[in-house]
A = this chain, B = another copy of it.
């Protein structure tokens, strides 16, 4: 991975696009050279087209990039991070993949396609083997990789160390940060001193994505995890960091100490490959009584570590715990960047 590869961002002026740019600043192997956005931004310099909303200043390397239309064209780099809106993502992403680009997408449009990997690299790096299937199916030279919905990442990372014991039933309640809704997103009149017990489409996404992510890669397709999953999704007045409270029933109950040990031992392919964005500890188990908390634990591992706490026996199922994921890093832009690093390291893409 010594070589540097050029990358672009589709939908670069939106909130997730801005997060891609912030996280790519100073990246050792992925060099941002191209930004695409809607037609009305195209042709302007990025700093003219974009109202920067993240903390701190706009990275210097992107200020003077000229915004391009989101269409394949000469000069577009081989790897494209997609933060395009769901209303246009299908068309844009397919056009680039057809033209030989690799689309590393945070959009939901292709996540559930049978031949598209829905990756959490610590959990299912082997799902990359769908790529040749996808290319054959669709006649593409490039391809599309996706990462899950932000809250799904917290749930699946929290469940991953338990996979060895057989996950049978899961009931999860989320308390999700407002940054997950983008900008302007959640009105302050709705969330100040309040809880909103509904996020459109979120529960369904968590339920089905979890089954695919934790599914088994076969010859040329994935068999979903045959677990039942039920989600309650809530919005709370937190800026960054989704908290998920999980009760889980296992096929095999190994005892609390063995379960804790499974969490402590958990490592994945990104750690083996020492990928640039991979945290040393992908899931950290805390024993402190009142953790994890979004404000205090969200930035663990530069926002790439999921923190699990309050692991204990469940009066109804086998175990219950709380997991915390930084929704705009590990749950969105950081997830996609880790996917790109994996793709590169696994040799799908020659730098």
Contact = CB atoms under 8 A, between A and B. Distances in A.
Contact of A188 (B191, B309, B316): B191
B293 A230 contact: no
A71 interface: no
A93 to B, nearest CB: 26
A192 B237 contact: yes
A309 to B, nearest CB: 7
B230 A247 contact: yes
Contact of A194 (B232, B294, B317): B294
A307 B270 CA distance: 40
A293 B314 CA distance: 27
Nearest to A229: B315
A189 B239 contact: yes
17 contacts: A171-B171, A178-B188, A183-B187, A188-B188, A188-B190, A191-B192, A192-B193, A192-B238, A193-B294, A193-B295, A194-B293, A194-B294, A195-B293, A198-B290, A228-B316, A230-B247, A230-B314
A192 B171 contact: no
A171 B231 CA distance: 12
Q: DSSP majority for the A interface? A: mixed
A322 interface: yes
Contact of A175 (B188, B195, B230): B195
A195 B238 contact: yes
B310 A198 contact: yes
Contacts of A192: 178, 188, 191-193, 237-239, 295
Interface string A157-190: 0000000000001110101001100011111111
A127 interface: no
A195 B191 CA distance: 14
Contacts of A254: none
Given A175-B236, A186-B189, A194-B238, 4 more contacts: A53-B189, A186-B187, A193-B239, A195-B243
A196 interface: yes
Given A192-B191, A237-B193, A245 B232 contact: yes
A60 interface: no
Contacts of A196: 290, 293
A152 interface: no
A163 to B, nearest CB: 18
A295 B192 CA distance: 9
Interface in A222-260: 228-232, 234, 236-239, 243, 245, 247
A55 B192 CA distance: 13
Interface in A306-336: 309-310, 314-317, 320, 322
Contacts of A55: 295-296, 299
Contact of A197 (B292, B299, B300): B292
A56 interface: yes
A74 interface: no
A134 interface: no
A98 interface: no
Contacts of A243: 195, 197, 234
A230 B184 CA distance: 31
A317 B230 contact: yes
